[in-house]
């Protein structure tokens, strides 16, 4: 079938088709080199998601989605147009396996995404269990499973979840016992620790650049900062001696300014939310450490990727 609508998310391209009757369909991720879209209409994705919100995020999310429409294809309908402008960020989050961001983007534009429920469900299906856990257990303002019907319906079969005979927590515990899962979770209690996400030494890297070499050097500095954040050692491990919560899971990250000075060492930055930590610890009580890395960093949140 001829490509009709393409959504570019950085170097990743996704294909949609639109039938003569107006039916929008998702054809999946394109492999190979970027397609030739000469003469196509180009639209910028909605600004409801912007990398400018963040101090650090992975390369796959550090982009502005673009929509390319083939000549003669009509996307002027209100629902189709809104969906195409907003779906790029969701596609990128799922592609990067950022379960928390995928879930939050879905909640943020729930009405738009549910106007094409089958497409949205198909896009999120492979990550549905992780999205459901991040939304219902990971966030402080957690969502009830009934608030995310598309995610719940996709995850129900994978979890073998029957609310008449078990709780959602029990379903997750059984799932984590049987298989490895990787999800993104925000840390709580970060205000109790002094870890500085952007110390002075990083904020002023561009201060002394001359105008004639500003662009070239600024690009090198941005790349170096990104790679520096990506290199930060992140440790997530059980804290059974915690007097407030025997199921506590603590996260620590290398001190940024100390690392720049050549001094190694981890600093406490926060905890996994208690309800999420309890499910993880009950599923695998003998596992004390978890594979982890820094996923995203903003002025409000530290988000880690954890494999259980």
State the pLDDT at residue 302.
96
Q: In what order do the strands lie in the sheet with 12-18?
A: 24-30, 12-18, 5-9, 66-69, 41-44
Q: How far apart are CA 160 and CA 171, in angstroms?
A: 7
Q: Say whether pLDDT at 212 is over 70.
A: no
Residues forming a β-bridge with 294: 304
Looking at the predicted structure, is the pLDDT value of residue 201 above 90?
A: no
Name residue, tokens 């983007």. Answer: 105
Q: What is the mean pLDDT of residues 248-276?
A: 92
Separation between Cα atoms, residue 124 and residue 92, nearest integer Å: 11
**Residue-wise pLDDT tens digits, 76-103:** 999 999 999 999 999 999 999 999 999 9
Per-residue pLDDT at 48 exceeds 90: no
pLDDT of res. 211: 63
């Amino acid at each position: 079938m001829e490509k009709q609508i393409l959504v570019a998310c950085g170097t990743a391209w996704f294909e949609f088709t639109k039938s003569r009757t107006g039916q929008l369909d998702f054809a999946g991720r394109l492999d190979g080199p970027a397609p030739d879209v000469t003469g196509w209409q180009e639209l910028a994705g909605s600004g409801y998601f912007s990398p400018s919100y963040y101090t650090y995020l992975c390369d796959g999310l550090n982009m502005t989605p673009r929509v390319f429409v083939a000549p003669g294809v009509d996307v002027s309908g209100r629902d189709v147009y809104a969906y195409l402008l907003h779906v790029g960020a969701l596609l990128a989050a799922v592609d990067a396996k950022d379960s928390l961001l995928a879930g939050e983007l879905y909640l943020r534009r729930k009405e738009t995404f549910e106007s094409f429920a089958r497409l949205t469900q198909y896009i999120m299906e492979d990550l549905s269990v992780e999205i459901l856990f991040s939304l219902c257990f990971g966030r402080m303002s957690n969502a009830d499973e009934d608030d995310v019907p598309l995610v719940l319906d996709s995850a129900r079969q994978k979890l073998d979840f029957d609310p008449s005979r078990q709780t959602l927590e029990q379903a997750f515990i059984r799932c984590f016992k049987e298989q490895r899962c990787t999800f993104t979770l925000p840390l709580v209690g970060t205000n109790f620790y002094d870890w500085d996400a952007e110390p002075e030494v990083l904020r002023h890297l561009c201060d002394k650049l001359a105008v004639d070499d500003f662009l070239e050097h600024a690009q090198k500095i941005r790349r170096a900062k990104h790679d520096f954040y990506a290199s930060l050692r992140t440790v997530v491990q059980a804290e059974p001696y915690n007097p407030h919560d025997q199921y506590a899971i603590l996260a620590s990250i290398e001190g940024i300014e100390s690392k720049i000075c050549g001094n190694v060492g981890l600093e406490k930055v926060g905890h996994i939310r208690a309800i999420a930590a309890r499910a993880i610890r009950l599923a695998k009580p003998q596992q004390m450490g978890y594979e982890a890395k820094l996923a995203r960093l903003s002025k409000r949140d530290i988000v880690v990727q954890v494999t259980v």
